[in-house]
Amino acid sequence: MAHSRSLKFRVAKILDLAEPDDTLSKFLDLFVLGLILLNTIAVALETVDPLFQQYFLEFRRFEQFTVSVFSIEYLLRLWSCTVIPKYRHPVWGRLKFMITPLAVIDLLAILPFFLSLYIPLFSPQFRMGRTVRLIRFFRVLKLHRYTDSLSILVRVYRIKKEELFLTFFVLIILLFISSTLIYFAEHTAQPEVFSSIPAAIWWGTITLTTVGYGDVYPITVLGRILGGSLAVLGIGLFALPAGILASGFAEELAVRKAQKRGRDVIICPHCGQDINSPPHYEETSESGEIETD
């Protein structure tokens, strides 16, 4: 019993993000990372019909090898997850683990292959089968397990999700207001283009994002004033999420640096600085100028 638990714990550690001194875990991470990237390229190349027809067997064999590796990985994760306290129960714990986001991604990564294997309608020869097989792009999301950079991105999103939600909520409100105003300003002059408020949302979207494809544009004076104002406003509003993410990355990197030094980190919600970091004192030089350490 103790040996089985020890083996499960070792398997769980190997399958987790590699530690600096764990050669086997690091090798496995690099191997699976390369396999995911090759799969992404293969899925893209399969959409080129001449290549898909000519190298169908090669694509199929590579897919079989990949699914074998990912299936073994998924089963090992399912088997070893009981060493984690919240998944301790041998049945309910594993069921709880199976519905976690990362476990669902792992399942979606191998599901298209088995669907095409046992359900003829999902065979690659059929259009539906080709469409379902594109679900394999979910394998890209598995990169989160094997790259620390993506883990940082996920943590930054979790920290800043309220600010990001508020920003996008304001953008949506502004989109509906601008689309409504441009509808009343341009409907009489361009009834085919601005036929309804939902149709005007397309103009609002490309204007607010400052893309401006040019297929839909105002011709009245009021409409042009509204369009110009919204384009300028869109630049500022879309800079907000970038600033929020940048501050989140700065805070996360500060936390990681402090943790490497063995210190506890408390980030101030107002200035984004570590509260426990030593203060910077100002000194006055002989010339009377203020010097900051």
CA atoms within 13 A on the CB side of 33: 17
Nearest to 126 by CA among 113, 116, 118: 116
The pLDDT tens digits of the residues spanning 198-218 come to: 888 888 888 887 777 777 888
Q: What fold characterizes domain 151-284?
A: Helix Hairpins (1.10.287)
Q: What share of the chain in percent tops pLDDT 90?
A: 1
- Per-residue confidence (pLDDT) for residue 292, from 0 to 100: 45
Give the N- to C-terminal CA distance of the chain in Å, as an integer: 58
pLDDT beyond 70 at 104 = yes
Comparing 2-146 with 151-284, is the CATH topology the same? Answer: no
Nearest to 140 by CA among 48, 40, 70: 40
Q: Model pTM? A: 0.55
pLDDT beyond 80 at 194 = yes
Q: Where are the domains of the chain?
A: 2-146, 151-284
Work out the average pLDDT over 175-197: 88
Alpha-carbon 29 to chain mean position: 19
- Per-residue confidence (pLDDT) for residue 284, from 0 to 100: 44
pLDDT beyond 60 at 126 = no
Using CA atoms, how far apart are residues 21 and 13, in angstroms rounded to an integer? 12
Instruction: Just give the CATH number of 2-146.
Output: 1.20.120.350
The pLDDT tens digits of the residues spanning 18-42 come to: 566 778 877 887 788 788 788 778 8
